[in-house]
Amino acid sequence: MRKMSIVAALALTTSLTPAYADMTVEVMHFWTSGGEAAALATVRDAVVAQGVAWVDAPVAGGGGDQAKTVLQARITAGDPPAAMLILGQNILDWAGAGLLGNVDAVAAAGNWDAVLPQAVQDFTKVDGHYVSVPTNVHRTDMMWVNVAAFAKIGAEYPTTWEEFNALAPRFLEAGIMPIAHGGQSWQEMYMFEAVALGIGGADFYRAALVDLDDATLRGDTMVATFVQMAELRGMIDDNAPGRDWNLASAMVINGEAAVQIMGDWAKGEFTNAGQVAGVEFDCVPVPKAAGDGFVYLVNSLSMFAQTDPDRIASQDVLATAIMSPEVQIAFNLAKGAIPARTDVDMTALDACAQATAASFAANDTAGTAVPTFAGTHAAPAAIVGAATDAVTEFMNSDMAPADGATLLADSIAAAM
């Protein structure tokens, strides 16, 4: 009798999962906090629904730096994961080393060339092959605003840096810090790239931080960027050094500070504190003195080359799942970012994300969407590291703006 029921149970499970029985897909990632994990769980659910088992290999830390060490060990042991969350230029590195496979068949069937904006393709398609599958796009030049703080001094949100600078003394007078700042080098780098785009515009940003043109790095616009950074230096409280960005967000939530400059992932902190966009807080782009612009960061799962046909098939299942419009929306509802494909119905997203998605599409078409430098999209990690040291040194001293630009140019030149 018992044997019978086991047989029946087996028959049931196999009949439920005819195509992909016994297949697994191992995904290495650093999404381990609430919203991130919940987002990835939507992908997991879609994969599991196809009968492919999900093997979770989370290694948190340093935006994937720790995972990189682990990955090297795994590759040496001859056991690379099916897919891994890798950022920006690192994808190009792994692809260049011949370690990535591709999901071209799925991409062709899904017409990815048409549904993915060029900005996303730049970091998922290498030498004509889709080596990576994008889950979402983050906007890094975002400003988080305490609505009550602006009401208190009766000011509109600034759209240029001049306006912003004019507001600072009024906030200080009202007993509010103008900027909630986390004094960690990576945060300062995200702030720097947002300021650079705001001061100099997309063409300047590309010349300086993507092409790393020495003359541009030493030029007047770069000095002007550092002049603005020096202004921001004066709007920060004494306790900023070493502060986590989450705690800086808390300052805006509590009304201690007026704004925080941080990527769109900060939204989770605000909603987690029970605040509503448009009521207690607002998300607006970082002021732009030179027209429009958008700094983006693409998250994607890169596919490692496999020999086992089952594993290759499971990668295709994973890729299809990630790119399905339902998952793209569900994923980004949890993650707080915007879908990587621009053809999905965005109405399910909140006001913040909808505005970001619209801005991304517009900037991508206009050619003013630029890849994040701090997030190692615009340049390799070594150069970003050197530049970050320079910017942090500037932010934590009373260095003159012209010297800051020189230091940055020298640091980048030395790292190239």
Binding site for another protein (CB under 8 A): 26, 29-38, 40-41, 44, 54-64, 66, 69-70, 72-74, 76-79, 138, 244, 246-247, 250, 253-254, 263, 265, 268-269, 272-273, 335
**Based on CB atoms, which residue is closest to another protein, 74 or 125?**
74
Compute the distance between CA of residue 352 and CA of residue 373 in angstroms, rounded to an integer: 23
Closer CB to another protein, 61 or 96, in the complex? 61
How crowded is residue 234: how many other Cβ atoms within 10 Å of its Cβ? 12
Count CB-CB contacts under 10 A for residue 269.
23
Return d(Cα 16, Cα 49) in angstroms, integer.
Answer: 9
Cβ closer to another protein: 60 or 402?
60
On whether the CB atoms of residues 178 and 257 are closer than 8 A, the answer is yes
Instruction: Decide whether 22 or 56 has the Cβ nearer to another protein.
Output: 56
Name the pairing type of β-strands 132-139 and 338-339: antiparallel
Is 252 or 289 the residue whose CB approaches another protein more closely? Answer: 252
Q: How far is the CB of 332 from another protein (least distance, A)?
A: 12
The packing angle between helices 220-233 and 381-395, to 10°, is: 50
Query: Structure tokens of 32?
Result: 């381990």
CB-wise, 63 or 88, nearer to another protein?
63
- C-alpha distance from residue 165 to each of 45, 160, 191, 194, 413 (Å): 47, 9, 15, 15, 32
Quote the least distance from Cβ 37 to another protein, whole Å. 4
Q: How far is the CB of 38 from another protein (least distance, A)?
A: 8
Rounded to an integer, what distance in angstroms lies between the CA atom of residue 65 and that of residue 31? 13
At closest approach, how far in Å is the CB of 133 from another protein?
Answer: 17
Identify which of residues 124 and 136 has a Cβ nearer to another protein in the complex.
136
The least CB distance from residue 248 to another protein, in Å, is 10
Q: How are the residues of the chain apportioned to helix, strand and coil, as percentages rounded to the nearest 5?
A: 55, 15, 30
Separation between Cα atoms, residue 21 and residue 359, nearest integer Å:
43
The nearest distance, CB 60 to another protein, in angstroms, is 4
Minimum CB–partner distance for residue 29 and another protein (Å): 8
